[in-house]
Amino acid sequence: MKASDEKIWQPTVVQNLVRYAPSGTYFARLRVGGETCLEKFENRDVFRRETTIADTLRDHRSKIESLTAFAEGKMTVGNAADVYLQKIRASILLKPRSKEYRELMMDFIRRSWPSLFETEVRKVSPRDCELWLSRYQQRYSPSVINNSIGTLRAIFDQAIGCGARSNNLAAGLSRVKIRQKRLELPSQSILAAKLQIAGFDISRSGVSKIEARLSYVDDKALLYLAEVLKVQVQELFPARPPGNRIYDFIDKLETTRF
C-alpha cells in the first residue's frame, strides 16, 4: 500500500476492517479469488456484531464458488441455495424476521436431506423430492412443510435461472392442507375464573349471557377472551366465505356464539 493510500485508508482494531478517512466510512477489505473487494458498512453495524466481517467474507467466497461451479457445469444444490440466500439477504423488501425465517427453512431442509446440498442439480430427480417430502411430513407441522416446499422451489428456480436445469423438480410437490384448529371451550365457571385471574371482572352468569347471545362482546372482552383461550382475536370470529356480502357477514357476527 502506498503512503498516500495509508492516509486515505486507515486500519482499525478489527481485522479486515478499514476506515475511509475523507468520509469516515468503514469498509471490509476482502481478498477473494485473487481479487480485492470492498464492502461498505454503516458505522453502527460494524461493532454490533463480531461476525459481520466473517459473514461478508463467507458470502463473497460462496458467490464466487457458485459462479465457478456453474461455469464448469457442475452446480450443486448447495451452490443454488447460496445464490438464493444471497438474494434474500440483499433484499430491501423483506423484513429481517422474514429473512431469518427463510434461512430457518433452509436449515430444516438441510437437516432433513443432508446429501441434497452436495448433489449436482442435474442429478436430482422429482422422485428424490417426493421421497424427501414423505419423510419430512412426519416430522414437522403443515405450515413448516409448505414453507419448506416453497423454499425448495426457490432453490431450483435459481438453478433454472443459471441454466443448470430446465425444469423445477419441486413443482410437483403438493402442499399440505392446514386444518383450522377447533376451539374447545371450558365450562362457564372455569372460563369465568380464568378471565378473573387475567384481570377481567366477569362472573359465571356474565359468561352465560355471552354464550346465550344476551350481551354483546366489546373489544376489551375480546382481548381477554383471546388471551385466556390462547388464540388470535381473529380466530374468535367466523370465517367470511368468498363472495359473501358484508351485510350478511355482519348479520352472522351478531348471532355468533363466543
- Residue-wise pLDDT for 86-97, tens only, equals 888 888 788 888
Q: If you search the block for the grid coordinates 392446514, which residue do you land on?
A: 178
Q: Write phi, then psi, for 11 (nearest 5 degrees).
A: -70, 160
pLDDT of residue 49: 43
* 229 close to 185: Cβ distance less than 8 angstroms: yes
Q: In this structure, what C-alpha cell is assigned to residue 187?
A: 365450562
Q: How far apart are CA 223 and CA 132, in angstroms?
A: 41
pLDDT of residue 162: 79
- Greater confidence, 48 or 131? 131
Q: How far apart are CA 80 and CA 63, in angstroms?
A: 10
Mean pLDDT of 109-120: 90
Stretch (H or E) spanning 164: none
Q: What is the DSSP pairing of strand 25-32 with strand 35-41? A: antiparallel
Q: In this structure, what C-alpha cell is assigned to residue 72?
A: 464448469
pLDDT of residue 86: 84
* 163 close to 70: Cβ distance less than 8 angstroms: yes
pLDDT of residue 12: 78
Mean pLDDT of 89-113: 86
Q: What is the dihedral of CA 117, 123, 124, 126, to 10 degrees?
A: 170
Binning the chain into helix, strand and coil, the percentages to the nearest 5 are: 55, 10, 35
Q: How far apart are CA 159 and CA 153, in angstroms?
A: 10
pLDDT of residue 151: 92
pLDDT of residue 152: 93
Report DSSP state, residue 30. E
- Sheet strands side by side (includes 9-11): 9-11, 17-20, 25-32, 35-41
Most confident option among 51-60, 108-117, 204-213, 234-243: 108-117
Q: Is 236 helix (H, G, I), strand (E, B) or coil?
A: helix
CB atoms within 10 A of CB 6: 11
Q: How far apart are CA 46 and CA 71, in angstroms?
A: 34
Confidence of residue 59 (pLDDT cuts 50, 70, 90): low
- Greater confidence, 234 or 66? 234
Q: How far apart are CA 9 and CA 3, in angstroms?
A: 10
pLDDT of residue 29: 72
Query: Considering only CA atoms, which of 82, 160, 63, 65 is closest in space to residue 121?
Result: 160
Most confident option among 119-133, 135-149, 184-198, 236-250: 119-133
**Which pLDDT tens digit goes with each residue over 127-149?**
999 999 988 887 777 888 888 89
